[in-house]
Amino acid sequence: MSMPTVEQIQQILDPIFPGLMGVRLVTLEPERVVANLLVRPDLCTAGGIMHGGAYMAFADTLGAVGTIVNLPKGKRTTTTDSSTKFIGGAKAGTTVVGESVALHRGRTTMVWQTTIKSEEGKLCAVVTQTQLVLEG
């Protein structure tokens, strides 16, 4: 399969949930996906820091994109599991960076781990997810 471009995937993301949140894809490689997200107030908790659910949705998007660009022809994928460790807060108005790397790319499952950091490189969250590879 030829890799899709960042622009092609971004166009798919824009009308769906990652688009609602404002996820901006930056890098797309077979074992690594990077994106940015501006921490808008409507992605936050009442305390003005990025909502835990927004961390998880941001990461889930990157792990799914990573899996999709690795799928053999005629296959599809679904997330079966995701686990998150929340480590640090990201304030409204800042930008966070998510980097998802493949821990495993098998025929039946793929495992992707996404690290979310603040602009200054402070660790915010680590999300590990399992993607099942299914017949299309």
CB atoms within 10 A of CB 106: 9
Options 24, 71, 79, 101; binder of its own copies; rule CB under 8 A: 79
46 versus 73: smaller Cβ distance to its own copies: 46
Residue type, 71: L
Options 37, 59, 90, 116; binder of its own copies; rule CB under 8 A: 59
Q: What would the DSSP string read from start to end of 61-85?
A: HHHHHHHHTTPPTTEEEEEEEEEEE
Q: Is 72 in the site for its own copies (CB under 8 A)?
A: no
First to last CA, the chain: 16
Options 5, 8, 27, 80; binder of its own copies; rule CB under 8 A: 80
CA distances from 117 to 51, 83, 132 (A): 14, 17, 27
Q: Is 54 in the site for its own copies (CB under 8 A)?
A: yes
What span, in angstroms and rounded, lies between the C-alpha atoms of 87 and 14?
28
Residues paired with residue 98 on neighbouring β-strands, in sequence order:
35, 116
Q: Is 102 in the site for its own copies (CB under 8 A)?
A: no
Options 61, 67, 70, 118; binder of its own copies; rule CB under 8 A: 61
The binding track of 21-40 with respect to its own copies, each residue x by CB under 8 A or -, is --------------------
What span, in angstroms and rounded, lies between the C-alpha atoms of 112 and 128?
6
Which residues in this chain contact its own copies in the complex, by CB under 8 A? Answer: 12, 15-20, 41-46, 51-54, 56-61, 64, 78-87, 89, 103-104, 106, 108-109, 111, 113, 123, 126, 128, 130, 132, 134
